[in-house]
Amino acid sequence: MKTLVLGIGNPILSDDSVGMRVAMELKSRPGKGYFDVKWASIEGLSTLDEIAGYERLILIDSIKTGKGKPGDVYKLSLRDLNFASHLSSSHGVDFATAVELGKKVGYKIPEIIEIYAIEVEDNTTFAEDCTPKVKLKIPKIVDEIIEAIDGM
């Protein structure tokens, strides 16, 4: 199954970069050439060009619910995104809407879309690294994603 792991975020906004950092760590692990790994600072409709042509997508992004601990992982589906505060665009087209529009205009959208939303502590401070609590969890999150891919 042609699989893409896509980490998204802003590389200069502390924990907002966690999706990208998880993807980078995943890419650095040896022997993981049976799926593609990308990271980008994109949202909404811009994601369509990245995900088109894959059968399975694992999307990694930050989320700030205020209910979990920094580094907690929530496994979500497209249906769950109505409740996610970060996986939406300030330009009015959130990820779920972009996927639906992509299908309607002929993009080959992955049939399987899994979302790993990582609870963050600080996604507003200009910093080139995650907060210590979130940074500490990145290797464990990478292991969890590898297990999920291998288990499919």
Residue-level pLDDT at 73? 96
Identify the structural domains of the chain with CATH numbers, from first to last.
Answer: 3-151 (3.40.50.1450)
pTM: 0.89
Residue closest to 13 by CA, chosen among 61, 71, 72: 61
pLDDT at residue 44, as a whole number: 81
Q: Output DSSP code: residue 78.
A: G
Partnered with residue 8 across adjacent β-strands are: 40
**129 backbone φψ class: left, alpha, beta (φ>0; ψ -120 to 50):** beta
| Element of type H or E holding 19 | helix 18-28
From CA 79, how far away is CA 21, in angstroms rounded? 25
Name residue 75's beta-bridge partners. 116
**Series of mean pLDDT values for 10-residue runs along the chain (152 residues):** 95 96 93 86 88 96 93 91 50 79 94 96 94 97 93 76
CA distance 47 to 99: 9
